[in-house]
Amino acid sequence: MGLDILIKNGRIMDGTGSPWLPGELGIKDGKITKIRAKLGDSAEQVIDAAGDIVCPGFIDMHSHSDTYLPLSGEMESYIRQGITTCVTGMCGSSLAPIPPGREKEAKQHFTETFPLFDQVTIIWNTYAEYLQEMAKIPCFLNTLYFVGLDMLLFAGQPGSENRPPTTEELSKMKAFLEEAMKAGTFGLSTGLLYPPQAYVKIEDIIELARVVADYNGLYFSHIRDEGAHLIDAVKECIEIVEKSGCIGGQIAHHKVDGKAYWGASKTTLQLIEEANDRGVSVTCDQYPYNRSMTTLSTLLPPWAHEGGHEQLLERLQDAKVLNQIQKEITTSQGKWENIIQLNGYDRIYLAQTFTGKWKPYEAKSLAEITRIRKGKDAFDTLIEILVDEQAACWMTVEGIGDEDICRIMTSRYQMFGTDGAGIRRDPNHGTVHPRFYGTFPRVLRRYVREEKILTLEAAIRKMTAFPAQRLGLQNRGLLREGMWADIVIFDPNTVADKATFEHSHEFPDGIPYVIVNGKLVVENDTIHKVFPGKVIRRQN
């Protein structure tokens, strides 16, 4: 019996954290069939991996690809960096469930968070229908899904109102969540920084997470605050996992935002250690950059978002309200995650915009844009952009210190996530965060090869076996006979990220082959138009 693919002469690094061993690996019908020192088998295609590492495909633990997927599954930015599976539905934002008849309203509700949502035709209501539709989309890589608190708030009706859900609304939200768990979602995600999720109290989140616990699901959270109140926010996340009894929790894109608080990761990692010591399984993911990326409107105080998108736009036209916003931004001390106060206008850079007017200013800081345009005040620039872009545009913020990045990276509870999205290489997307293209190769170049913060095998384990274990995937994340053939082949001496904050749509170097479910998708500079990606459902 001939193999589909035979990989020869490579250094096989199996994902367990063990160093590489020489060997040959055979693939047939999507699976790894044989790993031996030498294989005599014939194969349709032979890959000579001399000098290269052969390892499991990378698992992106935190992705916003779901917002782009209905438009295209050609996730070039991901497949070229070796990602073969991504976890979506993060930060409380998921594309389902959407109750029948409320599709238009859903689009309105999510215009700020989902960049191209107006182009998506919503042909699903339940979570099961959503997963069925996603499975029909030709996709380069595997996707798996969480259900987001924001969508549960929308479906259960409190929507954008600044109040806790009523008992009746909460039970509706629980019913929607239960349907999603039955359909195969891996758990509940929250983004407690973002209104209206920011309005939800811990008791109600615990109540929801109990549903997740009943189905052996996970709780993934962009926690309530990553700056002044980071430590309280980590404690809250741990408490939610502990009190709900759900099988595990994940602190999303763990970081310390704002120079004044750098060093706080010593305490947060200690809290994670202690939680695990007493039997509460909490892990975290991280992207290896000193800038975050989120919607520009996150700079406004939470109350400015009350009532939803339309009301926010109205407030942006009201001089009295704007005065109040500006005052609160300059004076509020720690009542909310005030990113401007944490980092200043010169560390807040405009990213994706969509109307054309502001495209020339992408990748420039709000302070610099104000100077170039001879504006009076960066606050006025901010408001002008928000009004022009209908508040649906993005920023990057330089607020993360290297020491915290390295400290978190070396925690045994850490793994990697892009917090980006798998997209086609299309400049029309505007300036995105380089993590969309470079997260995994950046770790391998900078933190493994150059700075030696991690050994190569430790980094690979954090990109493969560890996330697979966290998710309960029994047949991915390791190189073992019988497992799905998700495989990356890269040169440890040349692998490097190329995307920058100015030129974000650049593919990395040194990753010649990427295989998904036994199909070769990346072959040197070519991306084959094959779509082996599967929708992975949680196994009960």
* Footprint on this chain of Zn ion (rule: CB under 5 A): 91, 222
Q: Are 290 and 398 in contact (CB under 8 A)?
A: yes
Return d(Cα 177, Cα 455) in angstroms, integer. Answer: 40
Q: What is the 3-state secondary structure (H, E, C) of 179-210?
A: HHHHHCCCEEEEECCCCCHHHCCHHHHHHHHH
Q: Beta partners for 156?
A: none
At 496 the three-state DSSP class reads strand
Listed in sequence order, the residues at least 6 apart from 465 whose beta carbon sits closer than 8 Å to its beta carbon are 14, 15, 16, 17, 56, 477, 478
Taking the complex as a whole, the smallest distance from the CB of residue 294 to Zn ion amounts, in Å, to 7
Taking the complex as a whole, the smallest distance from the CB of residue 191 to Zn ion amounts, in Å, to 5
Note if the bond before 165 is cis, omega within 30 degrees: no
Taking the complex as a whole, the smallest distance from the CB of residue 92 to Zn ion amounts, in Å, to 8
Taking the complex as a whole, the smallest distance from the CB of residue 189 to Zn ion amounts, in Å, to 9
Return d(Cα 315, Cα 141) in angstroms, integer. Answer: 42
Among candidate residues 478, 422, 524, the one with its CA nearest the CA of residue 56: 478
Taking the complex as a whole, the smallest distance from the CB of residue 512 to Zn ion amounts, in Å, to 32
Indicate the residue among 91 and 453 with the shorter CB distance to Zn ion: 91
Return d(Cα 441, Cα 80) in angstroms, integer. Answer: 10
Indicate the residue among 91 and 141 with the shorter CB distance to Zn ion: 91
End-to-end CA distance of the chain: 35
Residue 297, amino acid: S
Indicate the residue among 399 and 492 with the shorter CB distance to Zn ion: 399
DSSP string, 311-366: HHHHHTT-HHHHHHHHHHHHH--SSS--HHHHH-GGGEEE----SSTTGGGTTSBH
Indicate the residue among 467 and 533 with the shorter CB distance to Zn ion: 467
Indicate the residue among 26 and 302 with the shorter CB distance to Zn ion: 302
Indicate the residue among 12 and 91 with the shorter CB distance to Zn ion: 91
Return d(Cα 379, Cα 497) in angstroms, integer. Answer: 34
Taking the complex as a whole, the smallest distance from the CB of residue 491 to Zn ion amounts, in Å, to 32
Residue matched to tokens 């989309």: 137
Around Cβ 34, how many Cβ atoms within 10 Å?
Answer: 15
Indicate the residue among 91 and 139 with the shorter CB distance to Zn ion: 91
Indicate the residue among 222 and 255 with the shorter CB distance to Zn ion: 222
Q: Beta partners for 10?
A: 23
Indicate the residue among 10 and 191 with the shorter CB distance to Zn ion: 191
Q: Are 218 and 212 in contact (CB under 8 A)?
A: yes
Indicate the residue among 5 and 61 with the shorter CB distance to Zn ion: 61
What values do phi and psi take at 54, rounded to 5? -115, 115
Among candidate residues 398, 397, 396, 400, the one with its CA nearest the CA of residue 263: 400
What values do phi and psi take at 159, rounded to 5? 55, -125
Taking the complex as a whole, the smallest distance from the CB of residue 155 to Zn ion amounts, in Å, to 20
Taking the complex as a whole, the smallest distance from the CB of residue 255 to Zn ion amounts, in Å, to 10
